[in-house]
C-alpha cells in the first residue's frame, strides 16, 4: 500500500470512530483475532471472480466478484478484506440488495443486522490496485502470497478459509492466459477482447489463487498420461529447445515420487506453469499455475551439474508444495515454515535418484548448512516457529531459518524416529487434513503417538528457539571429550542431536558417533595410533553446531584439507574454516591461499563451486582495498590456469564467473573486454546473451574509461525485450558519475520504481559494490530508512534482500557506525525486521571495535 493511501484511509478511520460506532473496528491487516473469528463462523466459501485486463499497463484492471458463503453463527458484523482506496469499491450488494458498507483501512465492514445465520451472497464491483499484479508492457501475473490478494479484489484473506474459485478473464485478443483451473472456453465474439473462462478450483487458500495473462509462448508435453503446459516469454528458441524436455521430465518424475511417498494421487486437476522473466522468487506453488523464475528453468549452455541440480530441486520443491502447503495448508502464517521445510526436505529426497553421480549428503550439506549458519551465528537469529499477530507481518517470517535450517532439523527428526515412522506420520497428517488446514502441534502429537522419541521436547529446543550450540571437542589417547555451550545471552539450552566426528591422523580418518546432551559427553576412542591431528565435527554433514577448532587443528586443517579423501569431509571442513574466519581466529590471506590451492587440485565440481564461493567471500569481505589489489593478479592467474585446464562447460562456467567477479588488474580487465567485444569466449565455454550483459556490467563497474560506450553498445546488442528493459533500468546504477547514481537511488524512493524487485536488487548491488562503497556511504542511511516502507510495499523476500544488497559491499568502520547508529536511534523498530537487519549487517557489525 502506498503511503498517501494509508494517510487517507486512516483519516477515514478517525471519522468513523468519531461517529461512535457500536462495534469495534478491525485493525489494518488481518489480525489473528479476526481470522479466528471468521474461521469459526464462515463455511462453504466460493468465489466467482472476473477481471477485465486492458492492454495498456497504465489503464486500471477492474472486476467483479460474487462471494457465496454460509454463516454458522449470525449477529456479527462481517469483515471483508480490501486494501485499496475507498473509490476502488464501485458497488456492493448483499443478498441482492445494494448496501452502503462501512470502510475502514484494509476492510469493508457489513452490519450485523443484515447477517443472520445461513447462506449469503455478496456481489461486488471493484477496481484493483496494481500492487500484486506485476504489470508489464505485454503481460501481468498475480502474486498474492502472503496477504496481497486483497489489493486486487475483496476477499476473506487468511489461509484457513479455503474456497473454490471460478475465475474468468477478459484480455486483449492476442493475449493468452492461465489460472489455477483449466481453461474451459475462449469467447472471441466481442472482437478485440476475448473472454477466457477457467474451471472451478478445489478448495484453496487465497494466497494460492493466481492468474497470468499476456503475450506468452506455450509449450506442451505429455508425460505418464499427464499433459503439462509451460508458458514463457523466452525469445531464444534454441535455449527453450535445449531445456524443455528436461523441465517436463523433472516435473513428471517429482509428481510420481510424491504420489508414491504420500500415498495420495496428485490432488489438483492440471499442472501448468509460467516461466516469468526476472520473477522475484525462485518459484511460487499456485496449484495448477506455478510461477518460476525463467532463468532458473532455462539453463545456460554452460550450466554445470550444480545448476542442473538447483533446477531439479526447485521443480521438486514447488511440486512437493502441491501436497505440503496446497492440499494441507498451515492454519496461520506462523506455521508457514512447515510447508517450506517439507518442500525442501522432499526436494532433497526427490532429486537424489536423478543425480546418482552426485554425493547427496554433500549436496544437502552445501544447500542448507552455510545459509542457515549465516543467520544462526548472528544476534538477529530467529527461531523456526515464530508468533504472528497480524498477517500484515507475515513477510518478515521468511528467511534461511525456514528454508535451510528447518530441513536440517527435520532430517534429524526423521533420523531419530526412523524413516518409515516419519513417512507414516506424514501420510496420516496429509490424509486427515486434505483440502484443509493443520498446525505444527498437531503433527508433533501425531509423531509422538507413533514413536518413543519425545518429539515435543525436541521441538521446544530445535523449533521454538533461535541459535545453535558451540561444540568443542578434544581427545587424549583413550577418549574424545565433547562440551556443548550456549552462547545466546541469558539461556543455557542443550540441543539433543546425533553428532559425528572425523578423527583425522596421518594414516587414517576414523568416524565416531554419539548423541549429544547433556552438556558434556565422553566417547571412547577406537584404537588409534597416537592422538588425532584434526577433530572435524559434523562430519556426517547433518550435525548442526559451530564446531570450534583449537589453533593446532586449524593449522593442520589448512594444510590437510585438500587431501581429505571424502568430498563431504572437505565440504564440512571448508565451512568450519569459514566459521573461523568470521570469528576472527583465521587470517584471511591464509584462507585465500588455501582456496587458491584448492582451485588447482579440487576435482569435485560441487566442491569447486563451494571453494570459489569462499574465495570470493574472503576476497571481497575480508581484504582491505590495497591488499585485494595486490593479490588480484595472482588470484586471476590461478583462475585462468584452472579455466584453461578444466574439462566441461560446467567447471569452466563457475571458474569464469569467479574471474568476472574478482578481476581487478588492468590486463585482466582488458582480457575480459576482448571476450565481450569480439563475442569470443574461452574455448569450450559458450556464453549467452545474459552472460555477455553481466560481463559488460562487470567491466563498466571497474571504471574503465570507455565504460559508457561499452554499456551503449551492450544495449543495442540485447535482442530480448524483457532483458533490454532490465538493462535500461540497471544502467544508471553503473554510471561513472556519482551524481547519476545518486539520482537513480533517489528515484527508488517512489514505490512505482521499485516494482521490478530483481532489477532493483541488481542495481543496489552495483551502487554498493565494494569498488564503489566509499561513494555509496552517504546513501547507506537513506537506504536503511527505506526498509520499513519496502516491507509494506514489496514482496516477502524483498526487505532482507534489499538489506543484503545494501550492506554486503561495505566493510568500512564508517559504514558499520552508520548501521549501529541507525539501530540505536530506532529502539522501537519492529523486532523481526530488526532481526533481519542484524542478520544482514552481521559481518559489518563484527568489524566495530568492541
Ligand atoms: Zn516454497
Give the tens place of pLDDT for each residue, 591-601: 999 999 999 99
The confidence band for 505, taking pLDDT boundaries of 50, 70 and 90, is confident
From ligand 1's centre to the CA of 791, what distance in Å? Answer: 19
For 107, the grid coordinates are 476492510
pLDDT in tens, 516-534: 665 667 777 777 666 788 9
> What pLDDT does 508 receive?
80
From ligand 1's centre to the CA of 459, what distance in Å? Answer: 21
From ligand 1's centre to the CA of 331, what distance in Å? Answer: 16
Summarize the confidence of residues 30-49 as an average pLDDT. 97
pLDDT in tens, 325-346: 999 999 999 999 999 999 988 9
Summarize the confidence of residues 729-743 as an average pLDDT. 97
Inform me whether the pLDDT recorded for 683 exceeds 70: yes
The confidence band for 158, taking pLDDT boundaries of 50, 70 and 90, is very high
From ligand 1's centre to the CA of 317, what distance in Å? Answer: 6
Helices 625-645 & 666-678 angle (0-180, nearest 10): 50
The confidence band for 303, taking pLDDT boundaries of 50, 70 and 90, is confident
**Residue written as cell 569452466?**
652
From ligand 1's centre to the CA of 119, what distance in Å? Answer: 35
From ligand 1's centre to the CA of 581, what distance in Å? Answer: 32
From ligand 1's centre to the CA of 261, what distance in Å? Answer: 18
From ligand 1's centre to the CA of 328, what distance in Å? Answer: 14
Neighbours of 575 (CB within 10 A): 20
Closest Cα to residue 570, out of 528, 603, 546?
A: 603
Report how far residue 21's alpha carbon sits from residue 13's, in angstroms, rounded to the nearest whole number. 11
Inform me whether the pLDDT recorded for 19 exceeds 70: no
For 113, the grid coordinates are 443486522
Neighbours of 41 (CB within 10 A): 18
From ligand 1's centre to the CA of 792, what distance in Å? Answer: 21
Inform me whether the pLDDT recorded for 511 exceeds 90: no
The confidence band for 7, taking pLDDT boundaries of 50, 70 and 90, is very low
Summarize the confidence of residues 756-776 as an average pLDDT. 97
> What pLDDT does 2 receive?
31
> What pLDDT does 849 receive?
64
From ligand 1's centre to the CA of 164, what distance in Å? Answer: 22
- Flag the least confident range among 270-274, 493-497, 577-581, 786-790: 493-497
Summarize the confidence of residues 705-723 as an average pLDDT. 96
Inform me whether the pLDDT recorded for 696 exceeds 90: yes
From ligand 1's centre to the CA of 337, what distance in Å? Answer: 9
> What pLDDT does 525 receive?
77
From ligand 1's centre to the CA of 315, what distance in Å? Answer: 10
From ligand 1's centre to the CA of 646, what distance in Å? Answer: 35
What percentage of the chain reaches a pLDDT higher than 90? 84
**Residue written as cell 556443548?**
484
What percentage of the chain reaches a pLDDT higher than 70? 96
From ligand 1's centre to the CA of 243, what distance in Å? Answer: 22
From ligand 1's centre to the CA of 329, what distance in Å? Answer: 12
From ligand 1's centre to the CA of 205, what distance in Å? Answer: 15
> What pLDDT does 234 receive?
95
From ligand 1's centre to the CA of 295, what distance in Å? Answer: 17
From ligand 1's centre to the CA of 457, what distance in Å? Answer: 27
Bridge partners for 523 per DSSP: 480
Report how far residue 122's alpha carbon sits from residue 81's, in angstroms, rounded to the nearest whole number. 13
> What pLDDT does 776 receive?
97
| 503-510 LR contacts (CB < 8 Å, sep 24+) | 503/475, 503/528, 503/532, 503/534, 503/535, 504/532, 504/533, 504/534, 504/535, 504/536, 504/556, 504/560, 504/564, 505/529, 505/530, 505/531, 505/532, 505/533, 506/533, 509/564, 509/565, 509/566, 509/569
Kindly state the greatest CA–CA separation across the chain.
89
pLDDT in tens, 824-839: 999 999 999 999 999 9
From ligand 1's centre to the CA of 339, what distance in Å? Answer: 7
From ligand 1's centre to the CA of 797, what distance in Å? Answer: 12
From ligand 1's centre to the CA of 839, what distance in Å? Answer: 21
Inform me whether the pLDDT recorded for 14 exceeds 70: no
From ligand 1's centre to the CA of 433, what distance in Å? Answer: 19
Mean of the per-residue pLDDT values for the chain?
Answer: 93
The confidence band for 794, taking pLDDT boundaries of 50, 70 and 90, is confident
Amino acid at each position: 500500500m502506498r503511503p498517501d493511501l494509508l494517510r487517507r484511509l486512516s483519516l477515514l478511520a478517525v471519522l468513523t470512530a468519531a461517529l461512535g460506532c457500536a462495534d469495534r473496528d478491525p485493525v489494518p491487516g488481518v489480525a489473528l483475532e479476526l481470522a479466528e473469528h471468521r474461521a469459526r463462523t464462515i463455511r462453504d466459501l466460493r468465489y466467482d471472480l472476473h477481471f477485465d485486463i486492458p492492454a495498456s499497463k497504465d489503464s486500471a484492471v477492474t472486476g467483479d466478484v460474487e462471494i457465496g458463503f454460509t454463516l454458522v453463527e449470525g449477529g456479527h458484523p462481517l469483515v471483508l478484506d480490501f486494501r485499496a482506496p475507498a473509490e476502488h469499491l464501485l458497488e456492493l450488494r448483499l443478498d441482492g440488495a445494494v448496501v452502503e458498507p462501512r470502510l475502514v483501512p484494509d476492510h469493508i465492514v457489513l452490519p450485523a443486522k443484515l447477517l443472520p445465520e445461513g447462506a449469503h451472497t455478496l456481489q461486488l464491483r471493484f477496481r484493483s490496485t496494481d500492487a500484486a499484479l506485476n504489470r508489464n508492457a505485454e503481460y501481468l501475473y498475480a502474486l498474492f502470497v502472503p496477504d496481497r490478494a486483497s489489493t486486487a479484489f475483496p476477499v476473506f484473506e487468511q489461509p484457513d478459509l479455503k474456497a473454490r474459485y471460478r475465475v474468468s478473464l477478459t484480455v486483449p485478443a492476442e493475449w493468452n492466459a492461465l489460472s489455477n483451473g483449466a481453461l474451459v472456453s475462449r469467447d472471441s465474439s466481442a472482437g478485440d477482447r476475448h473472454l477466457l473462462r477457467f474451471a472451478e478450483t478445489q478448495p484453496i487458500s487465497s494466497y494460492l489463487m493466481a492468474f497470468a495473462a499476456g503475450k506468452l509462448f506455450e509449450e506442451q508435453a505429455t508425460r505418464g498420461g499427464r499433459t503439462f503446459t509451460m508458458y514463457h516469454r523466452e525469445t531464444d528458441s534454441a535455449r527453450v529447445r535445449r531445456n524443455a524436455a528436461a523441465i517436463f521430465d523433472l516435473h513428471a518424475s517429482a509428481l510420481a515420487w510424491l504420489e508414491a511417498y504420500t500415498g495420495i494421487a496428485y490432488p489438483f486437476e492440471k499442472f501448468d506453469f509460467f516461466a516469468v522473466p526476472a520473477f522475484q522468487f525462485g518459484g511460487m506453488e499456485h496449484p495448477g499455475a506455478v510461477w518460476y523464475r525463467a532463468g532458473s528453468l532455462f539453463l545456460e549452455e554452460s550450466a554445470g551439474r550444480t545448476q542442473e541440480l538447483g533446477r531439479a530441486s526447485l521443480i521438486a520443491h514447488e511440486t512437493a508444495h502441491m501436497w505440503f502447503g496446497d492440499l494441507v495448508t498451515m492454519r496461520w502464517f506462523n506455521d508457514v515454515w512447515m510447508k517450506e521445510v517439507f518442500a525442501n526436505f522432499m526436494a532433497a529426497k526427490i532429486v537424489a535418484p536423478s543425480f546418482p553421480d552426485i554425493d547427496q549428503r554433500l549436496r544437502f550439506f552445501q544447500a542448507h548448512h552455510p545459509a542457515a549458519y549465516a543467520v544462526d551465528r548472528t544476534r538477529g537469529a530467529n527461531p523456526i516457529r515464530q508468533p504472528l499477530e497480524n498477517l500484515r507481518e507475515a513477510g518478515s517470517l521468511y528467511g534461511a531459518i525456514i528454508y535451510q535450517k528447518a530441513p536440517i532439523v527435520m532430517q534429524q527428526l526423521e533420523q531419530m524416529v526412523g524413516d518409515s515412522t516419519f513417512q507414516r506420520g506424514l501420510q496420516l497428517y496429509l490424509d486427515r487434513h486434505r483440502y484443509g488446514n493443520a498446525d505444527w502441534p498437531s503433527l508433533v502429537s501425531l509423531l509422538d503417538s507413533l514413536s518413543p522419541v519425545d518429539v515435543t521436547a525436541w521441538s521446544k529446543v530445535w523449533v521454538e528457539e533461535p541459535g545453535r550450540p558451540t561444540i568443542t571437542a578434544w581427545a587424549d589417547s583413550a577418549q574424545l571429550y565433547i562440551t556443548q555451550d550456549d552462547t545466546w545471552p541469558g539461556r543455557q539450552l542443550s540441543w539433543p542431536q546425533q553428532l559425528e566426528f572425523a578423527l583425522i591422523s596421518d594414516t587414517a580418518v576414523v568416524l565416531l558417533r554419539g548423541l549429544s546432551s547433556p552438556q558434556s559427553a565422553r566417547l571412547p576412542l577406537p584404537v588409534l595410533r597416537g592422538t588425532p591431528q584434526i577433530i572435524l565435527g559434523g562430519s556426517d554433514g547433518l550435525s548442526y553446531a559451530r564446531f570450534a577448532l583449537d589453533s593446532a587443528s586449524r593449522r593442520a586443517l589448512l594444510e590437510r584439507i585438500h587431501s581429505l579423501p571424502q568430498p563431504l569431509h572437505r565440504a564440512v571442513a571448508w565451512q568450519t574454516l569459514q566459521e573461523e574466519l568470521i570469528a576472527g581466529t583465521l587470517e584471511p590471506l591464509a584462507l585465500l591461499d588455501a582456496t587458491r590451492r584448492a582451485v588447482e587440485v579440487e576435482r569435485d565440481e560441487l566442491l569447486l563451486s563451494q571453494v570459489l564461493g569462499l574465495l570470493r567471500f574472503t576476497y571481497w569481505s575480508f581484504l582491505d582495498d590495497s591488499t585485494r589489489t595486490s593479490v588480484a593478479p595472482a588470484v586471476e592467474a590461478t583462475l585462468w590456469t584452472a579455466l584453461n585446464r578444466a574439462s566441461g562447460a560446467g567447471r569452466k562456467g563457475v571458474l569464469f564467473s569467479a574471474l568476472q567477479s574478482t578481476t581487478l588488474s588492468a590486463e585482466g580487465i582488458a582480457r575480459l573486454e576482448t571476450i565481450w567485444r569480439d563475442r569470443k569466449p574461452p574455448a569450450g565455454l559458450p556464453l549467452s546473451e545474459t552472460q555477455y550483459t553481466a560481463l559488460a556490467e562487470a567491466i563498466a563497474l571497474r571504471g574503465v574509461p570507455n565504460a559508457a560506450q561499452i554499456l551503449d553498445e551492450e544495449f543495442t546488442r540485447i535482442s530480448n525485450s524483457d532483458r533490454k528493459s532490465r538493462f535500461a533500468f540497471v544502467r544508471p546504477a553503473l554510471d561513472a558519475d556519482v551524481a547519476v547514481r545518486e539520482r537513480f537511488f533517489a528515484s527508488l524512493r517512489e514505490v512505482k520504481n521499485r516494482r521490478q524487485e530483481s532489477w532493483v536488487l541488481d542495481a543496489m548491488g552495483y551502487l554498493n559494490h565494494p569498488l564503489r562503497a566509499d561513494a555509496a556511504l552517504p546513501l547507506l542511511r537513506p537506504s536503511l530508512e527505506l526498509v520499513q516502507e519496502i516491507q509494506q510495499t514489496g514482496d516477502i523476500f524483498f526487505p532482507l534482500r534489499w538489506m543484503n544488497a545494501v550492506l554486503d559491499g561495505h566493510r568500512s568502520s564508517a559504514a558499520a557506525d552508520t548501521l549501529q547508529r541507525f539501530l540505536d536511534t530506532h529502539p522501537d523498530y519492529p523486532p523481526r525486521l530488526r532481526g533481519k537487519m542484524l542478520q544482514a549487517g552481521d559481518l559489518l557489525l563484527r568489524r566495530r571495535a568492541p
